[in-house]
Amino acid sequence: MTETDVSTNFDILIGHDPETWVALPCSWPHDDHRAPRSWIRATVSSVAERSVVSTRASRSWLTEVLSTLARWSPGDERRYLYLPDIATPPSLLRVQVGFSQGERGDALRALVLDSDVAAIEPPVVDEIETSGLGQGLRGVRYSVLEGDDGLLATLVYAFRAEPYDLRVTCQVGGPEGVHGMIDEVDVFVDGISVVPAA
């Protein structure tokens, strides 16, 4: 996916494995689909074909999930669903971009620490380096959602790639999901870059 900001003349390139990540629509038309219905049908079919086991119930469940996500189209972010198999619990990944502001270290730390959902403790923040965005920060945020008894783990990344600050978040379910997803999300984040528009 390429997103061009006409005011700065830069492209945000997001390379991802379409057999692992489903790009969610920002608007319609999307991926040669004029409306959600045909996109949902094609996506369910694609995921079911690559799955070891696909039942009518699992296809119906995925249709409902995609239908909900297709109606939620925030224009200021790009969203992806980790879904290598129809039986895999999906994880929502969001790429948010804004113009760089303030001192780099403080701004990136704030992007990792800030959230609408209160953390049960401050995230442990590590430095990370990617081929496309350079050095950034990665943290794991643990929170409790209202009405839910369990913990929710979210991987949070922040990078400065002038003229932008980028924040990537991926909800990975409970704390047990962190170990299995961190490598997958690291690979996804490594495929993001900001380049001058052609």
Q: What is the pLDDT of residues 29-77, one digit of tens each?
A: 677 887 788 899 999 999 999 999 989 999 999 999 999 988 877 777 8
- pTM reported for the whole predicted model: 0.88
Task: Tell me the residue length of the chain.
Answer: 198
Fold of 89-198: Protein Transport Mog1p; Chain A (3.40.1000)
Q: What is the pLDDT of residues 106-138, one digit of tens each?
A: 999 989 887 766 777 888 899 999 999 999 999
Q: Establish whether the linkage from the previous residue to 29 is cis, with ω within 30° of 0.
A: yes
| Position 89 confidence tier, pLDDT thresholds 50, 70, 90 | confident
Q: CB under 8 Å, gap of 24 or more: what pairs does 169-174 form?
A: 169/93, 169/94, 169/96, 170/82, 170/91, 170/92, 170/93, 170/94, 171/91, 171/92, 172/91, 173/89, 173/91, 174/150
| Position 28 confidence tier, pLDDT thresholds 50, 70, 90 | low
Kindly provide the residue ranges of all beta strands, DSSP E only, lying in the chain, ordered along the sequence.
2-5, 10-14, 21-23, 77-82, 91-99, 124-130, 134-144, 151-161, 164-173, 192-196
pLDDT at position 14 is 92
Domain(s) labelled CATH 3.40.1000.10 in the chain stretch across 89-198
Structure tokens at 25: 């629509």
